[in-house]
Structure 1
Amino acid sequence: MTAQVNRHTFDEVMVPNYAPAAFIPVSGKGSRLWDQGGNEYIDFASGIAVTSLGHLHPELTAVLHEQVDRLWHLSNTFTNEPALRLARRLTESTFAEKVFFSNSGAEANEAALKLARRYAFDHFGGDKTGIVSCKQAFHGRTLFTVSVGGQPKYTEGFAPLPGNLNHIEFNNLAAAEAAINDGTCAVIVEPVQGEGGVLPATPEYLKKLRELCDKHNALLIFDEVQIGVGRSGSLFAYMHYGVTPDILTSAKALGNGMPIGAMLTTSKIAASFVVGTHGSTYGGNPLACTVADKVIEIINTPEVLQGVHKRHQWLKEGLERINAKYGVFKDVRGMGLLMGAELQGELQGKAKDFVNAGARHGLVVLVAGTNIVRLAPSLVIPETDLQEGLKRLEAVTAELLEKAKAAKEAQPA
């Protein structure tokens, strides 16, 4: 008999590094979720930009079931057909010539950063080890990637941290010029900062990074873990910007919920990862690769990618309508279907309240810090679901403003 579990079970048995919602989703279809009590939610989060083709997509479910009946796992003393098919699809669809598979975005970034240092060691000697990244960046939770990410709150209490890292202001050309030099082995950047506030890079900034990396023989790494695989409206955001990195990392939407990450690069750079230099027990798992191959096949089509631009417009117009009525957003920004609404006035600093109130209104949203409501719906969300989600977001906004007003009036004069 299956044991009954609820939200209190989390507090009893799980390490307390998360603070999950009070409700527990148990099923999903498309852009809707249902919890243990049968309550329905519009999903504007996609598991933090993961389920970009929605929940229980029939084509993904079908190929997964087929692979489940064939082969689940092989060690890396072998390879497997799904991994090779996915690698070929990725190399045929991007600048890359070689692919390394991992289980997550953090592992893909770890591999990218290790490869950059190894490549510099092979070609320029042991002194070229500097890594330049951006303040407020997020590249994962391993000790290396969390140190490279420019958010001190995530490294507090974990010292000593890996060294020779330099964090510069995002979108600041002068800061980049001052920081990148002949001792730099790599520059890593998110084309759109996700956790840092849903901030798109300017084209000039990414072009300057490319120019400086070329000048100083450094590798340019694009972390597209969150914005990649169609969310920008291009298969990968580098295509939108017209700036090609040396290494690109992908995860999240790549598996639509199956754990998989990928590091893409050129043959010349990949050559530094000789046998034994890096590895992953589960990286390239046949189940995950089977699903990811179908994900890329579906998303890398004019229908889906053009649909992202259309849905972006619907979402942006909806947020602007809410703002015209309530005046709560200082800025609405983002790219494709990764959008951020910066709060102001009575609701400034209360992004988490939108998450909590959203649950009461049947809406799942995200935050990016304390002052940004982050939205990342499915790339194929039906217009009816998107508009219903916006309707619920407006109800959330009205409720929070009413509560803020009541709290203000209750304060002693």
Structure 2
Amino acid sequence: MIAPILPTYNRAPLTFTSGEGSWLVEADGRRFLDLGAGIAVNALGHAHPALVAALTGQANALWHVSNLYNIPAQQRLAEMLVDKTFADTVFFTNSGTESCELAVKMARKYWYDKGQPDRTGIITYSNSFHGRSSAGIAAAGSEKMTKGFGPLLPGFIHLEFGDLTATEAAMDDSVAAVLIEPIQGEGGIRSVSDDDLRALRALCDTHGVLLILDEVQCGMGRTGKLFAHEWAGVTPNIMMVAKGIGGGFPLGAVLATEDAASGMTAGTHGSTYGGNPLACAVGAKVMEIIADEVFLAEVGRKAGLFRQKLEGLVASHPEVFEEVRGAGLMLGLKCKVANSDLVKAGFDQGLLTVPAADNVIRLLPALNIPDADIGAAVDKLDAAARQF
């Protein structure tokens, strides 16, 4: 007999009832150090007092009116994002999947309005993850994502991750955009080098192709800059954002230049809940905290401390771990034992990590994780590794 909740997740046997900072409390009272942060969502940890105040303050005033009317919190958050990024305009969504849908529509509508309606191809890369909508799974293209869900949305050109030669060869008059994650999350914490990201931007410029960056997981301060592409000194035409922008409240966004967004006129897209007062009140407080240069510098310092300790952990357990991957506080441990077994061993130590492809476990702590909790996390990983 089917469960009341559709069984699409293989859930761990854990039920959390409360949380504070980087810690969660299980129904039986056990405390777990959370290095998953709801898959990079709880960027400021659990029950951050400033976010609680922002949410409850807005909840006591107004929850929802729809996008038929002006929403002050939405306007404020959009202005903050425009001020701090390459973007000229923002559309708010409820998730990264919805952001992918709009990014694809925006790129294709751009060329349609330029008089090139056949320019619909979007180059994507192996092991990518762009959500689980029809556009998202078609963009990823892997059998794991697409099997049984055909016919797939056409128009995606799948190339090997990091293959610039193949990317250049694929550039023709049918290509509308390139879509890529600066750091793959689900794909195993695989990074595009700064040099390659600059080369990709140059290729897009040479061929007049739009560059779409998926910063759903690697954005919002996770690498020590507000967005990961800033390390390479490049800017996209369109960018997908979600996860950390809401600090735990469902919120996403698509950021774009005025030119890239030129096809998206009144009636071309919409969202009933997107940019609602509750989400945007929380998102504005998240931006206020994370976009601060002092805060971002502290993320970088914590990341350096964490990585140093993790490199020592790998050296201590060469039969368990292969390498440390990633940037900032978006880190991965490439495992020699099954990553799923290591995640379960972490449960025994009161530690939460997130599995990914390529036999990697993801370490995605709150950006404000205390130094003491970083030390405790590595101690727990060490104890988990000793089980092997």
| Mapped partners of 2:356, 2:84: distance in 1 | 30
Over the matched positions of the two proteins, sequence identity in percent amounts to 43
Work out which of the residue numbers 100, 106, 111 in structure 2 matches 1:115: 106
Match of 1:94 in 2: 85
Q: What is aligned with 2:311?
A: 320
Q: How much has 1:329 moved relative to structure 2?
A: 1.9
Q: Give yes or no for contact 1:366–1:373 (8 Å, CA) kept in 2.
A: yes
- The equivalent position to 1:356 in structure 2, one of 344, 349, 355, is 344
2:322 corresponds to 1:334: no
2:222 corresponds in structure 1 to 231
User: Is 1:50 matched with 2:34?
Assistant: no
Q: What TM-score do the two structures reach when normalised by structure 1?
A: 0.92
Q: Determine the C-alpha separation between the residues in 1 that align with 2:95 and 2:58.
A: 21
Task: Please list, as runs of the form range in 1=range in 2, the aligned pairs for 1:254-333 lying within 5 A after superposition.
Answer: 254-327=245-318, 328-333=320-325
Partner of 2:231: 240
CA deviation string 1:83-112 (max 9, x = no partner): 000000000010101000000001011101
Following the alignment from structure 2 to structure 1, what is the Cα–Cα distance between the partners of residues 268 and 377?
47
Match of residue 374, structure 2, among 382, 386, 390: 386
Q: When the two structures are superposed, what TM-score results if normalisation uses the length of structure 2?
A: 0.97
1:261 partner letter: G
Contact 1:138 1:151 in 2 (8 A): no
Distance 2:309 2:65 in 1: 47
2: CA distance, partners of 1:304 / 1:354: 32
Matched letter for residue 215 of structure 2: E
Q: 1:268, 1:12 → 2: CA distance?
A: 48
**Unpaired runs of at least 5, structure 1:** 1-9, 402-413
Shift of 1:243: 1.1
1:160 aligns with 2:148: no
**Shift, 1:181, TM fit:** 1.9
Inter-partner Cα distance in structure 2 for 1:91 and 1:73: 24
* Secondary structure at the counterpart of residue 167 of structure 1: strand
Q: Distance in 2 between matches of 1:110 and 1:129?
A: 14
Q: CA deviation at 1:234?
A: 0.3
Give the aligned CA root-mean-square deviation in angstroms.
1.3
Shift, 1:124, TM fit: 3.4
Q: Deviations over 1:14-68 (max 9, x none)?
A: 1110011101011000000001001000010000001010101111111111100
Q: Separation in 2 of the partners of 1:243 and 1:331?
A: 28
| Inter-partner Cα distance in structure 1 for 2:173 and 2:116 | 12
Q: Secondary structure at the match of 1:188?
A: strand
Task: In structure 2, give the amino acid aligned to 1:198.
Answer: I
Shift of 1:303: 2.3
Query: 1:370 deviation in Å?
Result: 5.6
Partner of 2:15: 24
CA contact (8 A) 1:80 1:286 kept: yes
The answer to which of 246-255 and 143-152 deviates more is: 143-152
2-side partners of 1:219 and 1:43: how far apart? 37
Is the Cα contact below 8 Å between 1:189 and 1:223 reproduced in 2? yes
> Any idea what the Cα deviations from partners look like across 1:296-323, whole Å, max 9, x if unmatched?
1101112221111111122212222222
In the alignment, the residues of structure 1 paired with residue 283 and residue 204 of structure 2 have an alpha-carbon distance, to the nearest angstrom, of 31
Counterpart residue type for residue 83 of structure 2: E
- Segments of 4+ in structure 1 off by > 2 A? none
Mapping 1:131-150, distance limit 5 Å = 131-150=122-141
- Equivalent AA in structure 2 for residue 364 of structure 1: L
| Equivalence for 2:71 | 80
| Aligned mates of 1:315, 1:129 — CA distance in 2 | 43
The corresponding residue for 2:201 is 210
Q: Which residue of structure 2 aligns with residue 365 of structure 1?
A: 353
The alignment of Structure 1 onto Structure 2 pairs a total of residues equal to: 387
CA distance in 2, matches of 1:281, 1:304: 33
Q: Describe the superposition over 1:174-218 as per-residue Cα deviations: whole angstroms up to 9, x where unpaired.
A: 111111222100100000011111011012221222122122221
The CA distance in 1 between the partners of 2:195 and 2:231, in whole Å, is 13
**Distance in 2 between residues matched to 1:280 and 1:149, nearest whole Å:** 24
User: SS at 1:277's partner residue?
Assistant: coil
Q: Quick one: which of 55, 69, 94 aligns to 1:64? A: 55
Question: Would the aligned equivalents of 2:124 and 2:159 in 1 still touch at CA under 8 Å?
Answer: yes
Q: Confirm or deny: 8 A CA contact 2:195 2:232 kept in the other structure.
A: no
How far 1:225 sits from its partner (Å)?
A: 0.1
Instruction: Check the 8 A contact 1:28/1:55 in 2, yes or no.
Output: yes
Does the aligned pair in 2 maintain the 1:184–1:216 contact within 8 Å? Answer: no
Q: Deviation string for 1:239-261 (max 9, x for gaps)?
A: 11111100011100000111010
Cα deviation digits, residues 334-390 of structure 1 (max 9, x gap): 01001111112xx1xx10112212112100001112610110011110011111111
Task: Please state whether the residue corresponding to 1:21 is helix, strand or coil.
Answer: coil
Question: Using the alignment, how far apart are the partners of 1:392 and 1:14 within structure 2?
Answer: 32
Is 1:106 matched with 2:97?
yes
- Identify the residue that residue 41 of structure 1 maps to in structure 2: 32
- Counterpart CA distance in 2 for 1:206 and 1:11 is 46
For the 8 Å contact 1:199–1:334, the answer to whether it is kept is yes
